[in-house]
Chains A and B, each alone.
Chain A
């Protein structure tokens, strides 16, 4: 079965700095990959998804992620962090239809 590993349960960056949240996946078939964001006291919201079209995927709020098959990675980046980016971020992998697995999440803190 597919799985996801998010490296780093907590990441702290300064406002204006690069955001890099790491996600590695394991899948026996070409996967569908997702990044979700959860703001405090809210549900998960889709940031972006990879569905085998372009390997560089652009999402909402200036985030993007690159699918690298050779590295089995789908890292999330944003060139310049904003205070409003502080949240928990979840990477998820699906092999199609029913089965989606979530990573443990990475809490992003943005320092002024």
Chain B
């Protein structure tokens, strides 16, 4: 158990809808990362937050947004969903130590029908 929790585990929704994925980092970790994993694209970095502020952006679509709250949990919002958004979404956290070791949650499997 990495100490990172994600909810829900599974999510099935329809095209055009909006969903929110939630992540709670390990106790004490200030950085949260979001990744998308799909069969055709592999593991893609989406966005990072550090202590409530956006720190780095990867291949995140404009339809997607995220935030990190004062209690350090984070939410990833996906809107105007398309079939191609079906994927596993992982959250990871790190203590922001120099080596940047990341601890991954179990993921949320999103299916868009």
Chain A residues at the B interface, C-beta cutoff of 8 Å: 32, 34, 36, 42-46, 49, 51, 90, 94, 96-102, 104-105
Contacts and interface: CB of A to CB of B under 8 A. Distances in A.
Interface in B12-70: 31, 33, 42-43, 45, 48, 50, 55-56
Q: Considering residues B2, B56, B90, B102, which has the most beta carbons from chain A within 10 angstroms of its beta carbon?
A: B102
Contacts of B33: 100
B86 to A, nearest CB: 15
Contact of B99 (A51, A90, A104): A51
Interface of B: 2, 4, 31, 33, 42-43, 45, 48, 50, 55-56, 90, 92, 96, 98-107
Contacts of A36: 104
A64 to B, nearest CB: 18
Chain B interface SS verdict (over half): strand
Contacts, number: 56
Chain A interface SS verdict (over half): strand
Contacts of A34: 101
Contacts of A42: 106-107
Contact of A100 (B55, B98, B102, B107): B102
Nearest to B107: A43
A99 B31 CA distance: 11
A96 B102 CA distance: 12
Given A43-B2, A44-B104, A46-B103, A97 B98 contact: yes
B55 A45 contact: no
